[in-house]
Amino acid sequence: MVLYSIVVRRNSGGAPRYLVRTGADGPTFPPTKLKDGGDLYQNLDRIFEGDFGLPRRSYYPERELPTLDNAPAGPHYDGLPDRWLLYPVIVSLTADARQALESAPNAAWLTLDELAAASAEPNTRAIIGWLLGEGADHLSNAPEQPTMEARANHWARFHEGGVRIVRGESVKNILGSGDRAFNLRVADPYLPYHRQGLGFTWSFFTPKDRQDLHVHGLPAVEIYGVIEGRLQLWWKPMNARGVCVWCHKTLEPGDWAEVEPLNCHFAAWLTPEGLGTVIKAAGTGELAGVGRLGVSGKTICDWSSTRDTEAEARQKRCSNHGCCVFPPALHALMAEYQKPFPKRDYARISELGECTKQ
């Protein structure tokens, strides 16, 4: 099996270009023969560190594509049988890595048509044909910059032991590549870098992660910690009614807040930059998901369920069915927070937070 890295660069108004390794045999997608016992990351090191001299953490595997049979007329490699597999993998690069490759003597950026015209190597041409046919959908959304999942998976790969250390720089790089929370532990892991929470979850979040107003059932407790920025927390007991029962506090760096079960609460960053951590723990079971109280442990208020389908909204809907009245400042905060992050008015958010500061 030979790994071929597929790295895309999109140009405004022109066809996408792909990184190729140049040499005496002509241009090709950067390849390496897979070594026994070597995982994907180690094999990519041989290409990007070994062939191109790039530093680690400047290239990230994004998606493994279906393997293809090699072309019988293509070259043969020591240790491989006559029939072997082509293994294309979509890889993203940081901006610094892309810049470094501009002056690399063994690198070039070609369109698929240009590569097909310049390369007579049958395996390279076989990959081009597949990418232009069955693989077109894979290329249409292939990321250029490292995604949050790719960065998080890379971090997890090199922190596999019984003690995992996540440095502040890593947290910021991972969160800076996405628009949601970086969950390290969840009740039911669904991404490669997750670990089983066994009733407790742990994550980091920034203002990009859109918050909702929600309530946890017994016995789940939620804890917020502020590392950078200013976070305003609103809450009231679930069974309390009336606009005046809502309370709020603004948390500064180093502050923590513990929210008991059956307390409706909403958190909003008052600054466009912020970094916090959230821990959700249940005394028993796996009450750390989203759903009805007593089933998955978290119910979303009606005001934010419009992001879901009607069926999802019914599943998550609060038993008060939106009958609560919110304080005007809280209502304005929630409305502003449902906008995409780049479109939020943080001057308005800060003003709302300051006028209600306690």
DSSP 317: B
* Local confidence band at 354 (pLDDT 50, 70, 90 cut-offs): confident
Q: Is 86 inside a domain boundary?
A: yes
DSSP 7: -
Q: Which of 121, 140, 159 is the last residue of a domain?
A: 140
Q: What is the pLDDT of residue 317?
A: 62
The per-residue pLDDT for range 107-119, each reduced to its tens digit, is 999 999 999 999 9
Number of domains the chain is built from: 2
Dmax (CA) for the chain in angstroms is 78
* Percent of the chain topping pLDDT 70: 87
CATH of the domain at 286: 2.60.120.10
Q: Is 38 inside a domain boundary?
A: yes
Q: Is 164 inside a domain boundary?
A: no
Choose among 64, 29, 31, 67: nearest CA to 142: 64
The whole-model pTM stands at: 0.84
Instruction: Classify residue 327 by burial, with Cβ atoms within 10 Å: 0-12, 13-18, 19+.
Output: middle
* Least confident stretch, 104-108, 161-165, 303-307: 303-307
Residue 62 belongs to domain spanning? 2-140
CATH of the domain at 45: 3.90.79.10
Question: Strand (E) positions, 113-228?
Answer: 182-186, 195-196, 200-205, 214-216, 221-228
The per-residue pLDDT for range 9-58, each reduced to its tens digit, is 998 778 899 999 998 788 999 999 888 777 899 999 999 999 999 998 99
Q: Is 155 inside a domain boundary?
A: no
* Percent of the chain topping pLDDT 90: 57
- Which tokens in the block code for residue 104? 């690399």
